[in-house]
Amino acid sequence: MLKIVEKTKLWFVMSLIIIVIGIGFIATKGLNLGIDFKGGTAITINMKQKFDKVDVDKIIDKYAKGEYLSKTVNDDKEIEITVKSDALSADQTATMLKDIKTQFKSSTLISEDAIGASIGSELKTKAVTAVIVAMFCILVYVGFRFEFKFAASAIFALVHDILITITVYAVFQIAVNATFIAAILTVVGYSINDTIVIFDRIRENQRIMRKATIEEITNTSVTQTMARSINTVLTVLICIFSVWVFVPSIRELTFPLLIGIGVGCYSSIFIASPMWVFLKKREKKARENKRTVA
Amino acid sequence: MKKKKSTILFLLSVFVIGLLGFTGFHGFTIGDYRVKPFTETINKGLDIQGGISVLEEVQGGAVDAKILDRAIELISLRVNKMGISETLVAKEGNNRIRIEIPGKFDSKEILDTVAKAGELKFVGPDKVTILTGKDIKDATASYDNDNKPVINLELNTTGKQKFAVATQKFIGQKITIYMDADKLTDPTVQVAILDGKAQISGSATLAEATTKAQIITSGALPVTLKAVSVKTVGATLGEAAMSQSMKAGAVAILFVFLFMLLYYRAPGIIASISLVLYIVLVLSAFSAMNVTLTLSGIAGFLLTIGMAVDANVLIFERTKEELKIGKSIKASVHGGFHRALPSIVDSNSTTIMAGVVLYMMGTGSVKGFALTLVIGVCISLFTALTCTKFLLKLAVEMGLISKTSHFGVKRG
């Protein structure tokens, strides 16, 4: 039997340190908010040959009037342009691209993203509301199907997973774009699934191991489900790792997922389960206190 | 006897699933009938196939839903004229219009097409404009007394006067109606129209007359639009993403198979067969339900592959536990299913519920993710509880699984 519950403090402190590091990074470096949330325009153009960046900048400057950044990438054959929000209207951007195309005939557009500032903040609010409502529904559902303490522990673990995933974004300065929402959702979806399997086992063992303590029941349940936890997380990680290797254009999504899914598995075992024990024992203590008072 | 029957049934199932898988990924042709592979039947999002997505916002506060619908209709008309299939023009929220055009990469062309004012002109034979969109009160389509489709035109007061003067002048000559540069129709003036009500014949069908009447009434965009978001994914990026995702998917599935085979032995084979069925069913559901697969949708799909395997893992782990306490193979398989069931149902229904909430509340990529997740989890429940169970039972009966070591369990 694995001794998971006995080391609760260790697991919590470990996670806390990581989250504090994340908060530190957010406080000093901030999150690298991409244009999906901040608004603005991002353009990548393949020039197909070596070119003089100054020539392109001249065209951009005509429209963006200094409110932009441009840099050459990929062997100096591509140019990445980022324009501040509201410095260019969508129409102006389109005209600018046309101008570039006229002067550099062989160039092809790789991608263009223009997002108004108001859209960005709206996207953010809506996504956050959706996640919060989803979590609330999970709380109610699990509370109803199991008991409230299981639900609260599961949500505690979910918040933990979200915080650590955000830490990954902060530490590695990954651009926070619409894919960020997909990443958070995937981690939450995986983690809740994983947590419920363990809780289900605890619930079952509570019926079988009538004389055992809460710690024993939890440790036994986690031990019994360990092989399953590891095998499942491995298959999911195999899938995501394969996408990470073969599809470089979405590493912005797959990299945080690799860590987030791992954390989701970890939290089900080392955060959610000990948290449940903690809540359970507090309840027991409260009940005993009441009895002594009476 | 039973053993033989089970063997035949098992092999038959494997063959059918294999055939489904092959059909799904390669398609085939029998005579004139062609079964298309998934790569052709599933809608690919713009981030996978390349194209332009524009979000237009109505300027000047709230708009009436009817006016917005008319604007959408008109934009659809303009966009469809570009001759691209699978374009999308849809309402988003209550004051925005989303336009998606795959296979186009020139955002200026799209923005100009969408936002052009939509100038309606009635031009006389002397090339002088008689009426514009401002003079029109209404236009409808109907059949005339000879049962031929006509457009009924009604003009407002200013239009009535101008049209009366012009029709008196041009009796027997043609008046041409233009929408921007396109000629809509050029009726010949039969009589002077003094009351501002005219009938235009010459349409072949009522549908044609209706479309033209709509263009005449809603000629000018009823609202001023501003593009608040423009996203272009170039052809090269889109193409690369597609072929790379296919490769990634193939490698991922191969390694999941290998892992399951190495860890669970004979049951691993069964899990792999179930997984093939799962993938075929999910992709069929995507194409049947017209799901547009975007990158975030692919993330959701990958997650469900993991969850589909998870149901099998839960069953096998439970079966192994039963084997370890000394039960027979048959009893263990039965018990394994029975005991794994609550976990599978609870964990998946929680995920489904979260998915449904996200689908209802979310927009764009959140919605796409949630939809693939919910479809995937529902189908994975089905394949694990039917296909895996059925094949596992057959495998035990036919003797493919006869020793505890076939589960990777040592009894000592």
Domain finish residue from B217, B250, B284: B217
Q: Residue A272: name the closest of A217, A194, A187, A189 by CA.
A: A194
User: SS3 of A271, please?
Assistant: helix
CA distance B268 to B316: 9
Same domain, B249 and B392: yes
Q: Which CATH class is domain A5-34+119-283?
A: mainly alpha
Q: How far from each other are the two terminal CA atoms of chain A, in whole angstroms?
A: 38
The type of residue at B360 is: M
- In order along its 412 residues, chain B shows pLDDT tens digits of 678 888 888 889 889 888 888 888 787 777 777 778 887 888 887 877 788 888 888 887 777 887 888 788 778 877 776 767 678 888 887 888 888 888 888 887 888 777 766 678 888 888 888 888 778 888 888 888 888 899 888 888 888 888 888 888 888 888 888 877 778 888 888 888 888 888 888 888 888 888 788 777 766 677 778 888 888 888 777 778 778 888 888 898 899 999 999 998 888 999 999 999 999 999 999 989 888 888 778 777 877 887 888 899 999 999 999 998 888 888 999 999 999 998 898 888 888 888 888 888 877 777 887 888 899 999 999 998 899 999 988 988 888 888 888 887 776 5
pLDDT tops 60 at residue A60: yes
Does A73 contact chain B (CB < 8 Å)?
no
- For residue A236, list chain B residues with Cβ-Cβ distance below 8 A: 302-303, 305-306
The enclosing H or E element of A262 equals helix A251-267
Question: Cβ of A123 and B363 within 8 Å?
Answer: yes
Question: Cβ of A91 and B111 within 8 Å?
Answer: yes
- For residue A257, list chain B residues with Cβ-Cβ distance below 8 A: 299
Pick from A147, A190, A242, A255 the residue to mutate for testing the B interface (most B CBs within 10 Å).
A242
Question: Cβ of B369 and A183 within 8 Å?
Answer: no
Name the closest residue on chain B to residue A245, using Cα atoms.
B248
- For residue A91, list chain B residues with Cβ-Cβ distance below 8 A: 108, 111, 115, 227
Domain finish residue from B199, B232, B265: B232
B274's tokens? 């179930």
* A276, A217 contact by CB (below 8 A): no
Pick from A197, A198, A241 the residue to mutate for testing the B interface (most B CBs within 10 Å).
A197
Comparing CB atoms, the residue among B252, B263, B357 nearest residue A134 is B357
Nearest chain B CA: its distance from A214 CA (Å) = 20
**CA B273: distance to chain centroid?**
28
Per domain, the residue ranges of chain A are: 5-34+119-283, 40-115
Same domain, B197 and B244: no
Q: Structural domain tally of chain B?
A: 3
Question: Cβ of A181 and B365 within 8 Å?
Answer: yes
Comparing CB atoms, the residue among B108, B248, B354 nearest residue A137 is B354
Does B55 contact chain A (CB < 8 Å)?
yes
Query: Which residue, chain included where needed, has tokens 């899914």?
Result: A261
Q: Which of residues 306-325 of B touch A (CB under 8 A)?
A: 306-307, 309-310, 313-314, 317, 321
Q: Which are the contacts of B291, defined by CB distance < 8 A and separation ≥ 6?
A: B42, B43, B285, B297, B368, B371, B372, B375
Query: Which residue, chain included where needed, has tokens 């993203």?
Result: A113
Strand partners, B91: B97
Task: Assess if residue B412 is contained within a domain.
Answer: no
Encode chain B in three state secondary structure. Answer: CHHHHHHHHHHHHHHHHHHHHHHHHHCEEECCEEECCHHHHCEECHHHHCEEEEEEEECCCCCCHHHHHHHHHHHHHHHHCCCCCCCEEEEECCCEEEEEEECCCCHHHHHHHHHCCCCEEEECCCCCEEEEHHHEEEEEEEECCCCCEEEEEEECHHHHHHHHHHHHHCCCCECEEEECCEEEECCECCCCCCCCEEEECCCCCHHHHHHHHHHHHCCCCCCCEEEEEEEEECHHHHHHHHHHHHHHHHHHHHHHHHHHHHHHCHHHHHHHHHHHHHHHHHHHHHHHCCCEECHHHHHHHHHHHHHHHHHHHHHHHHHHHHHHCCCCHHHHHHHHHHHHHHHHHHHHHHHHHHHHHHHHHCCHHHHHHHHHHHHHHHHHHHHHHHHHHHHHHHHHHHCCCCCHHHHCCCCC
CA distance A212 to B333: 28
Q: What is the reported pLDDT for A11?
A: 94
Q: Which are the contacts of B145, defined by CB distance < 8 A and separation ≥ 6?
A: none
Comparing CB atoms, the residue among B230, B240, B305 nearest residue A249 is B240
Q: Residue B118: name the closest of B179, B184, B159, B57 by CA.
A: B179
The dotted CATH code for A40-115 is 3.30.70.3400
Q: What is the mean pLDDT of chain A?
A: 88
- For residue A225, list chain B residues with Cβ-Cβ distance below 8 A: 317
- Measuring CA to CA, how many Å separate B369 from each of A178, A186, B286, B376? 11, 8, 12, 11
The DSSP 8-state label assigned to residue A45 in this structure reads E
B38's tokens? 């998934």
Q: What is the pLDDT of residues A248-275, one digit of tens each?
A: 877 888 899 899 999 999 999 999 999 9
**ipTM score assigned to the predicted complex:** 0.83
Q: What is the reported pLDDT for B138?
A: 83
B307 is in which domain, residue-wise? 2-43+234-407
Pick from A46, A193, A240 the residue to mutate for testing the B interface (most B CBs within 10 Å).
A193
Q: Which are the contacts of A286, defined by CB distance < 8 A and separation ≥ 6?
A: none
Question: Cβ of B234 and A109 within 8 Å?
Answer: yes
CA distance A154 to A145: 13
Name the closest residue on chain A to residue B302, using Cα atoms.
A239
Same domain, B281 and B390: yes
Check residue B269 and give left, alpha or beta (phi > 0: left; psi -120 to 50: alpha): alpha
Q: Which of residues 234-273 of B touch A (CB under 8 A)?
A: 234-237, 240-241, 244-245, 247-249, 251-252, 255-256, 259-260, 263
Q: Which are the contacts of A66, defined by CB distance < 8 A and separation ≥ 6?
A: none
CA distance B13 to B72: 49
* A157, A191 contact by CB (below 8 A): yes
- Measuring CA to CA, how many Å separate B258 from each of A277, B251, B253? 37, 11, 9
Q: Are strands B149-155 and B197-200 parallel, antiparallel or unpaired?
A: antiparallel
Q: What is the reported pLDDT for B117?
A: 61
Comparing CB atoms, the residue among A112, A133, A257 nearest residue B232 is A112
b/e code A230-249 from CB counts within 10 Å (16+ = b)? ebbbbbbbbbbbbbbebbeb
CA distance A69 to A81: 6
* A124, A37 contact by CB (below 8 A): yes
Task: Assess if residue B370 is contained within a domain.
Answer: yes
Confidence class for position A131, pLDDT limits 50, 70, 90 = confident
Same domain, B129 and B13: no
Q: Are strands B225-233 and B120-123 parallel, antiparallel or unpaired?
A: unpaired
Q: Which of residues 198-237 of B touch A (CB under 8 A)?
A: 226-237
Nearest chain A CA: its distance from B149 CA (Å) = 41
Q: What is the reported pLDDT for A90?
A: 74
| CATH number, domain containing residue B178 | 3.30.1360.200
Same domain, B251 and B301: yes
Question: Cβ of A247 and B245 within 8 Å?
Answer: yes
Same domain, B165 and B290: no
Domain finish residue from B232, B256, B290: B232
Same domain, B96 and B147: no
Counting one residue from A and one from B, how many pairs have CB atoms under 8 Å apart? 230
Does B92 contact chain A (CB < 8 Å)?
no
| CATH number, domain containing residue B300 | 1.20.1640.10
Q: What is the reported pLDDT for A291?
A: 79
Q: What is the reported pLDDT for B210?
A: 81
**Rounded-to-10 torsion of CA B41, B43, B44, B46:** 150
Same domain, B16 and B59: no
| CATH number, domain containing residue B96 | 3.30.70.3400
CA distance B249 to B24: 14
Comparing CB atoms, the residue among B107, B351, B366 nearest residue A127 is B366
Q: What is the reported pLDDT for A199?
A: 95
B332's tokens? 């263990």
- For residue A113, list chain B residues with Cβ-Cβ distance below 8 A: 230-232
Q: What is the pLDDT of residues B234-245, one digit of tens each?
A: 877 777 877 888
